[in-house]
Amino acid sequence: MRMHRMALAAGALVLGLALPTLAGPERIVFPKDYASAYVPLGAVDRYDSKMIRSVFINPEAYKSYQAGKPLPDGTVLVLEQRPAKLGADGQPELDAQGRFQPGGAPGFIGMQAKKAGWGADVPAALRNGDWEYAAFKPDGTLNPAVKLEPCFGCHQPRGAEDHTFIGWRVMNDLRAAGK
């Protein structure tokens, strides 16, 4: 019984780690022209959700990558998620390279961006340095229905990779290729 109560208390503590205000996501400006003006870093076929996730970065940050420097102040990363084209069996149809093909317009756009001084309002247990996160609807307005705590929680352990996934991998590839 005692153990049970302790477990509940621990759970409440984790749930209590809410972000204080909406000041974070509202700082992030949606780059309407990201698909043409940003640099595509790669795409991931998500078999779990039958979605294609494409990642883009602002050109200034990409140049910094190429120079072998860390992600600079003002870095903006965009993750665009769109449904894969499904076959009659309900599974994603693969192209000649074995990759998913787009089956519709993007439905979710997640962003992470960093600027000196950002993140100061984020509880220490969730903080990702200067990064803030935001979820947008395809029309470029903030999607308040998407909770942002999981974004911070899942990207936080990647501190050694500056809290990024695809971004870090591409940077290492560029370095290895001497570009």
Return residues touching ligand HEC (CB under 6 A). 44, 46, 53, 55, 77-79, 110-112, 133, 135, 146, 148, 150-151, 154-155, 164-167
* For ligand HEC, the closer CB: 103 or 156: 156
CA dist 32 and 59 (Å) reads 14
CB of 113 to ligand HEC, least distance (A): 8
> Least distance from C-beta 11 to ligand HEC, angstroms?
18
For residue 24, the minimal CB distance to ligand HEC (Å) is 11
- Distance CA(63)–CA(67), nearest Å, equals 6
User: Minimal distance in Å, beta carbon 45 to ligand HEC?
Assistant: 9
Taking the CA atoms of 113, 117, 122 and 124 in sequence, report the sign of the dihedral they define: positive
**Least separation, in Å, of the C-beta of 57 and ligand HEC?**
8
Rg (CA), the chain: 18
Query: How many Cβ atoms are within 10 Å of 45's Cβ, its own excluded?
Result: 15
**What is d(CA 65, CA 96) in angstroms, rounded to the nearest whole number?**
31
CB of 64 or CB of 164, closer to ligand HEC: 164
Distance, C-alpha 79 to centroid of its chain: 5
Nearer to ligand HEC, 39 or 44 (CB): 44
What sign has the CA pseudo-torsion 113, 117, 121, 124?
A: positive
Q: How far apart are CA 104 and CA 42, in angstroms?
A: 18
Q: Which is nearer to ligand HEC, 79 or 122 (CB)?
A: 79
A 10 A CB-CB count for 10 gives 10
Nearer to ligand HEC (CB atom), residue 70 or residue 150? 150
